[in-house]
Amino acid sequence: MTADRKKQQAAQAALAHVREDQIIGIGTGSTVNHFIEALAAQKLRIRGAVSSSEATTARLKTHGIEVLDLNSTGELDIYVDGADESDRQLRLIKGGGAALTREKIIAAASHRFVCIVDDSKLVEVLGRFPLPVEVIPMARAHVARALRRLGGHPVYRESTLTDNGNQILDVHGLSILDPISLEQAINQIVGVVTVGLFASRPADVLIVGGETGVVSMT
């Protein structure tokens, strides 16, 4: 089975967590794109969606799903998003699609974070996937030096500008044994907008698509 088919299965299973009349936070990426397709096909009468990126906004609008401003919705019942890695405590690395800042904001504003992945994303220790860090452009070199002092090897993701007009450093070579401490340490570096570690606020449910179907972890 392809990774894409596994993502599609996980996305389909996430529909079981959605109720009519909810406003849903929606992430970014190929797995979430399957979720949007499934949501549109199901014809559930949701009240609307809060989007984590311009790309997701465009896709939601294509399906006639109303996109709402988080400033006017209050807290969200549910947030559905993919991830680049998850450990067994549902702590995540996100940001492969450069949407980490808005994703983290929506995750923080949601009661329930349902994360959908294929089984290649599940790891024992986070860090195989290079950790994305969104930075203010003028601080890029300063932040890179600080990340090196923390033991990482930051690489500038050239030709990528986030929806917020910022740049991304991908930090290689980390074995993240204490994700909460590392998230806090990177957050302290002046010039960092967001680190793609979702450990202080992990997922609440992880739906993993694999060869034999989906498994839900809480």
Amino acid at the residue 162: T
**Which positions ≥6 away from 181 have C-beta within 8 Å?**
none
Question: What's the min distance (Å) between Cβ of 122 and ligand 5RP?
Answer: 13
* Residue 62 labeled ligand binder: no
In the residue annotation, 103 being an active-site residue is answered as: yes
Residues near ligand 5RP (CB under 6 A) = 27-31, 81-84, 94-100, 103
Catalytic residue among 103, 134, 158, 211: 103
Question: What's the min distance (Å) between Cβ of 52 and ligand 5RP?
Answer: 8
Report the candidate in 203, 146, 188 with the shortest Cα–Cα distance to residue 171: 146
Question: What's the min distance (Å) between Cβ of 36 and ligand 5RP?
Answer: 12
* Residue 99 labeled ligand binder: no
Inter-axis angle of helices 30-42 and 3-14, nearest 10: 50
* Residue 31 labeled ligand binder: yes
Residue number with CB closer to ligand 5RP (142 or 204): 204
Question: What's the min distance (Å) between Cβ of 119 and ligand 5RP?
Answer: 12
- CB environment 57-89: b (16+ within 10 A), e (fewer): bebbeeeebeebebeeeeebebbbbbbbbbbee
Residue number with CB closer to ligand 5RP (18 or 103): 103
DSSP three-state, residue 208: strand
Residue number with CB closer to ligand 5RP (11 or 23): 11
DSSP three-state, residue 140: helix
* Residue 173 labeled ligand binder: no
Listing DSSP states for 17-64 in one string gives: G--TT-EEEE--SHHHHHHHHHHHHHT----EEEESSHHHHHHHHHTT
Question: What's the min distance (Å) between Cβ of 141 and ligand 5RP?
Answer: 23
**Which positions ≥6 away from 171 have C-beta within 8 Å?**
130, 131, 132, 133, 147, 152, 153, 154, 155
Residue number with CB closer to ligand 5RP (36 or 144): 36
* Residue 7 labeled ligand binder: no
* Residue 96 labeled ligand binder: yes
Residue number with CB closer to ligand 5RP (141 or 214): 214
* Tally of CB atoms within 10 A around 192: 20
Where in the sequence numbering do the catalytic residues fall? 103
